[in-house]
């Protein structure tokens, strides 16, 4: 099966709120992103994954969408989006958007209609249920705390929300909901967007009997048994047939519960569903039944190796892996996966990059990971913005009996705000991110961890990522083979690209006879555009 473009690509995730502010309001925006695209082109990435920029009340920083076809004014205008997309394409980079279709905002027109009356045509766009014995219909807990059910006085029923109560779940059982989603996907693809990262797409199919389970320390039962792992594939195949099949897209599904077996369906190389999935086995290696992910343990290397070994061999030849250490929901890679002092931080960051980028699959770089950016030293939960962090602090101190410091240790280790502090561009005020007051504090270590200090330093973390990306591309651009006859060996090297490509001559051929070359002088360690030569030696 011919390789797809996204199998050779490296993806860079931008969290718009924290990437680059252009108007001094302290919040990143689309013109800011556009101004930094040359930086990404220098890094060499092929695809940008843009976290949501749609209209939103920002209860969950844009993962609560109130209009799927409008840009949030804080990020700019649709013209700003179009300019960013055009510039990215000019620089040879594709752009995939974040499709958040498991739920909308409670401020979306659909939900306002749905909650207005039990007979409203939009009522079944969401899940509404009567009380059971005067209580919530079931005892499952939401990801951001409390019940998955919220009482709505207007029509005296509960509505379902697996995340915050401002994120009501869309009812995918309703074909009109699916039609709406496919239409909005078409809207963005027709604008030239190159695909989607699909937020919690593994959760769109649910056990609509809404069972209860064994309550945990919070008094609620775990959410995950709600997921219907079979039906989701039916709807993804329908999505493929109705929309995706008409475009050359890359799609990556966030599938927290995916296993190697289900990923063979989600990410099958036959193109029937998605290009790839984000699985959560490695990022879920730490945690406890009582505290969930809010622990300070480091993952064991033996466990980490086992996870990647299983996914690399398990999908080989059948489906395609994504490869990632962090994203906007995870702590910073170099703070999370190793115990690195500042003295070893850069070395550790390069090691993590090398380990991940040379595996088989599509690697993802989260903004700032290429600089070795670290977690933030949050002193109090008030310094955190994320609704999940605030819920976690309450759960740890009230349900788990943790002290303030124990709770803060957990937040400093694992909270999502670690990844959301502003991008560190230089050692100047607010790290060059904004001329105003940043929405989240800039890490003080921007004084020495910043892009300006690294982009022209061959030994920097940035340059290491750049070489790894080149390496991935080179393997797509070099045609190298060796022939043997008795003691004689001939190495034939051909650069099929117009780019300079790093190439180290194998030691046995150093100093050997050079023939069939198309440049007069031998290459040092870089092949020039379309360079070819053969080396002849007697072993
Ligand atoms: O995250 C889904 C998800 O897995 C969440 O449970 C999240 O990872 C959380 O931190 C786990 O403790 C997606 C988005 O990536 C996230 O930013 C949103 O908050 C969430 O869905 C709701 O849209």
Q: What parts of the chain have a pLDDT lower than 70?
A: 1, 475
Phi, psi of 491 (to 5 degrees): -105, 125
Tell me the C-alpha distance between 519 and 527, whole Å.
Answer: 10
CA geometry: angle 419, 420, 421, nearest 5 deg: 100
Task: Report how far ligand 1's centroid is from the alpha carbon of 37 (Å).
Answer: 26
* Cα 189–Cα 194–Cα 195 angle in degrees, nearest 5: 80
Helix ranges, 316-374 (H): 333-336, 342-357
C-alpha of residue 14 to centroid of ligand 1, in Å: 16
Please give the Cα distance from 178 to 241 (Å, whole number).
Answer: 13
* Nearest-angstrom CA–CA distance, 278 and 361: 11
Q: Decide if 254 is catalytic.
A: yes
Q: Which residues of 139-171 are buried (b: 16+ CB within 10 A; e: fewer)?
A: bbbbbbbbbbbbebeeeebbbbbbbbbbbbbbb
Q: What is the spatial distance between Cα 317 and Cα 343, in angstroms, rounded to a whole number? A: 41
Cβ–ligand 1 distance for 386 under 6 Å, the answer no
- Is the beta carbon of 143 within 6 A of some atom in ligand 1? yes
Distance 143 CA to ligand 1 centre (A): 8
Catalytic residue at 199? yes
Nearest atom in ligand 1 to 103's CA:
23
Does any ligand 1 atom lie closer than 6 A to the CB of residue 332? no
Ligand 1 pocket member 144 (CB < 6 A): no
Q: Is residue 146 a contact partner of residue 165, using CB atoms and an 8 Å limit?
A: yes
Burial 192-217 (b: 16+ CB within 10 A, else e): ebbbbbbbbbbbbbbeeebeebeeee
Judge residue 39's burial from the number of C-beta atoms within 10 Å of its C-beta, 0-12 exposed, 13-18 middle, 19 or more buried. Answer: middle
CA distance 369 to 372: 5
Q: What is the dihedral of CA 438, 443, 448, 449, to 10 degrees?
A: -90
288-301 tens-digit pLDDT? 988 999 999 999 99
The response to whether residue 278 sits with its C-beta less than 6 Å from ligand 1 reads no
Q: Which atom of ligand 1 is nearest to the CA of 328?
A: 17
Nearest Cα residue to atom 17 of ligand 1:
329
What distance in angstroms lies between residue 87's CA and the mean position of ligand 1's atoms?
30
For ligand 1, mutation pick of 63, 165, 322 (most atoms within 8 Å of CB): 63
Query: Could you tell me which of 349, 269, 347 has the C-alpha nearest to residue 315?
Result: 269
Check pocket membership of 170 for ligand 1, CB cut-off 6 A: no
Nearest CA to ligand 1 atom 8: 329
Strand partners, 99: 198
Half-sphere exposure of 224 (CA within 13 A, CB side): 5
Instruction: List, for residues 323-338, the tens digit of each pLDDT value.
Output: 999 999 999 999 999 9
Say if ligand 1 is within 6 A of residue 149 CB. Answer: no
* C-beta 329 within 6 A of ligand 1: yes
- The catalytically annotated residue of 21, 136, 199, 388 is 199
Atom in ligand 1 nearest the alpha carbon of residue 163: 22
Q: Give 329 Cα–ligand 1 centroid separation in angstroms.
A: 6
Left if phi > 0, otherwise alpha if psi is -120 to 50, otherwise beta: which for 62?
Answer: left
CA within 13 Å, CB half, 121: 3
Q: Are 17 and 62 in contact (CB under 8 A)?
A: yes
CA of 102, closest atom in ligand 1: 23
Residues ≥6 apart with Cβ < 8 Å to 338: 298, 348, 351, 352
Q: Is 267 a pocket residue for ligand 1 (Cβ < 6 Å)? A: no
Distance CA 357, CA 266 (A): 22
């Amino acid at each position: 099966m011919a390789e797809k473009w996204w199998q050779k690509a490296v993806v860079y995730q931008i969290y718009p709120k924290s990437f680059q502010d252009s108007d001094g309001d302290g919040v990143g925006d689309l013109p800011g992103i556009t101004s930094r695209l040359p930086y990404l082109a220098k890094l060499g990435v092929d695809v940008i994954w843009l976290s949501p920029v749609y209209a939103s009340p920002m209860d969950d920083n844009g993962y609560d969408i109130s209009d799927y076809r409008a840009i949030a004014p804080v990020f700019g205008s649709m013209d700003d989006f179009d300019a960013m997309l055009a510039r990215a394409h000019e620089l040879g980079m594709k752009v995939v958007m974040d499709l958040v279709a498991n739920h909308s905002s409670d401020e979306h027109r659909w939900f306002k209609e749905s909650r207005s009356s039990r007979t409203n045509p939009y009522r079944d766009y969401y899940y509404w249920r009567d009380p059971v014995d005067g209580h919530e219909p079931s005892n499952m807990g939401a990801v951001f705390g409390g019940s998955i059910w919220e009482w709505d006085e207007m029509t005296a029923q509960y509505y379902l929300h697996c995340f915050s109560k401002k994120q009501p779940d869309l009812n995918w059982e309703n074909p009109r909901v699916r039609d709406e989603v496919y239409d909005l996907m078409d809207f963005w693809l027709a604008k030239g967007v190159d695909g989607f990262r699909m937020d919690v797409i593994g959760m769109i199919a649910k056990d609509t009997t809404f069972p209860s389970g064994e309550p945990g320390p919070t008094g609620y039962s775990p959410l995950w048994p709600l997921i219907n792992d079979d039906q989701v594939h039916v709807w993804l195949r329908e999505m493929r047939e109705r929309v995706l099949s008409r475009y050359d897209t890359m799609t990556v599904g966030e599938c927290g519960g995916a296993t190697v077996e289900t990923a063979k369906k989600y990410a099958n190389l036959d193109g029937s569903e998605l290009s790839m999935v984000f699985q959560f086995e490695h990022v879920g290696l730490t945690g406890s039944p009582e505290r969930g992910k809010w622990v300070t343990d480091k993952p064991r290397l033996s466990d980490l190796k086992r996870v990647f070994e299983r996914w690399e061999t398990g999908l080989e030849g059948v489906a395609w892996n994504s490869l990632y250490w962090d994203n906007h929901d995870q702590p910073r890679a170099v703070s999370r996966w190793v115990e690195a002092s500042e003295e070893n931080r850069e070395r550790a960051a390069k090691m993590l990059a090398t380990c991940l980028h040379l595996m088989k699959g599509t690697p993802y770089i989260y903004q700032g990971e290429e600089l070795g950016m670290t977690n933030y030293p949050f002193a109090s939960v008030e310094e955190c913005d994320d609704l999940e962090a605030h819920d976690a602090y309450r759960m740890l101190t009230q349900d788990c009996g943790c002290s303030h410091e124990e709770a803060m240790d957990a937040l400093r280790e694992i909270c999502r705000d670690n990844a959301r502090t502003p991008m560190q561009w230089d050692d100047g005020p607010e790290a060059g991110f904004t001329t105003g007051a940043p929405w989240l504090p800039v890490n003080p270590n921007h004084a020495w961890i910043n892009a300006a200090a690294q982009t022209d330093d061959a030994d920097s973390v940035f340059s290491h990522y750049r070489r790894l990306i080149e390496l991935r591309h080179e393997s797509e651009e070099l045609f190298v083979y060796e022939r043997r006859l008795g003691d004689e060996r001939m190495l034939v090297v051909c650069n099929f690209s117009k780019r300079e490509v790093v190439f180290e001559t194998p030691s046995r051929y150093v100093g050997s006879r050079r023939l069939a070359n198309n440049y007069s002088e031998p290459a040092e360690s870089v092949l020039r555009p379309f360079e070819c030569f053969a080396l002849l030696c007697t072993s």
